[in-house]
Amino acid sequence: MSLAERVLDGEIRAAARLMRDIDDRFKSAVDELKILYPHTGKAYIIGITGPPGAGKSTLVDQVVAAYRKKDLLVGVVAIDPTSPFSGGAILGDRIRMNRHADDPGVFIRSLATRGALGGLSRSTMDVLNVMDAMGLDVIVVETVGVGQDEVDIVSTAHTTVVVMVPGLGDDIQAIKAGILEIGDVFVVNKADRDGADRTARELTAMLEMKHPEAGDWMPHVIKTEAAKGLGIDELVDEFEAHHSYLKESGALQRLIQERNAKIFADTLREELFESVFSGIKESGKYQQILDGMRDRSTDPYSAVEEVMAARSFS
């Protein structure tokens, strides 16, 4: 039986192995994903992002517990950085989620960024598809701790949650571009700390500058103390409100459309590059181009034009 069939049969080890094959970019994983694809599209995906140390993992742990109380099956994809020097990684998000380790209704997978820069790993979307096909109802994606511009989560999750903590900067930080534009829900965690109210107020003020059209979603700021479980019920209610909004307003269809377009474009870009690049490497053309660039007899722009002209796409 193929891995994909075993995944559909509910076999945990098969799912875990397939995720590994995806992460390690095994060609065979693509065939398995083809089998799973028709079984995906059912899970509700929540993305949680924010700076390192904001309490994302602890928040994820609480959100998992809240959804388990509703008797839903929950998946977690937690991403931590790969060392640019050794290629190794310490994936430590599970530390905060250990109480769910032996709950058969929860599947947690840690992924390393492996050089990807957008806050996720290249494999994230495909790993989500495996969890989706496993029949998990809610999947929480925790991004690597991000700064300002790592916004890949938006095109991956249905509901994007930006977690902030008091004391990270003044309100000018809040009106810059980047992660503060992407939230459907904002959280001020560690709300017992000094300055929490001020941070919440500044975020709210920033959000109110947006002037949403009638019927648009208006993000709210929720204060939590994840370590004590405070504010979690309100937070999960807000997720549910956003999920209902997506379904009822038609925004969900648009989101799915955009995401499908992105997945297709990403896959095409990768495959095209792989095929063209390995082609010119094998033919020796690649070396010729590099030699030409070295003595300035060719330039990268003409070289690419020439390579492209030699291929036909329909």
Partner 1 sequence: MAERRIRVLVGKPGLDGHDRGAKIIARALRDAGFEVIYTGLHQTPEQIVSAAIQEDVDCVALSILSGAHNTLLPAVREIMKEKGASDIVLMAGGVIPEDDIPGLKAAGIAEVFTPGTSTETIVAWMRDNVTPHA
Chain residues that interact with partner 1, rule: CB under 8 A? 12-13, 16-17, 19-20, 23-27, 82-83, 85-92, 94-95, 98, 101-102, 107-110, 112
Q: Quote the least distance from Cβ 45 to partner 1, whole Å.
A: 18
Q: Quote the least distance from Cβ 16 to partner 1, whole Å.
A: 4
Q: Quote the least distance from Cβ 114 to partner 1, whole Å.
A: 8
Q: Quote the least distance from Cβ 264 to partner 1, whole Å.
A: 22
Q: Which of 205, 219, 221, 217 is nearest to 164 (CA)?
A: 221
Q: Which of 245, 248, 257 is nearest to 41 (CA)?
A: 257
Q: Quote the least distance from Cβ 21 to partner 1, whole Å.
A: 8
User: For partner 1, which is the closer residue by CB, 38 or 84?
Assistant: 84
Q: Quote the least distance from Cβ 153 to partner 1, whole Å.
A: 21
User: For partner 1, which is the closer residue by CB, 216 or 274?
Assistant: 274
Q: Sign of the C-alpha dihedral, residues 143, 149, 152, 158?
A: positive
Q: Which of 158, 159, 150, 160 is nearest to 121 (CA)?
A: 150
User: For partner 1, which is the closer residue by CB, 68 or 285?
Assistant: 68
Type and span of the H or E element at 68: helix 56-69
Q: Which two tokens stand for residue 249?
A: 């307003």
The bridge status of strand 185-188 relative to strand 220-223 is: parallel
Q: Which two tokens stand for residue 18?
A: 């397939």
Q: Provide DSSP, 233-279.
A: HHHHHHHHHHHHHHHHHSHHHHHHHHHHHHHHHHHHHHHHHHHHHHH
Angle, to 10 degrees, between the axis of helix 56-69 and the axis of helix 232-249? 70
- How far is it, in rounded angstroms, from Cα 194 to Cα 260? 43
User: For partner 1, which is the closer residue by CB, 14 or 185?
Assistant: 14
Q: Quote the least distance from Cβ 13 to partner 1, whole Å.
A: 6
User: For partner 1, which is the closer residue by CB, 77 or 154?
Assistant: 77
| 283: region left, alpha or beta (phi > 0 left; psi from -120 to 50 alpha) | alpha
User: For partner 1, which is the closer residue by CB, 134 or 289?
Assistant: 134
User: For partner 1, which is the closer residue by CB, 25 or 311?
Assistant: 25
User: For partner 1, which is the closer residue by CB, 15 or 222?
Assistant: 15
Specify the amino acid at residue 42: K
Q: Quote the least distance from Cβ 200 to partner 1, whole Å.
A: 31
- How far is it, in rounded angstroms, from Cα 143 to Cα 153? 7
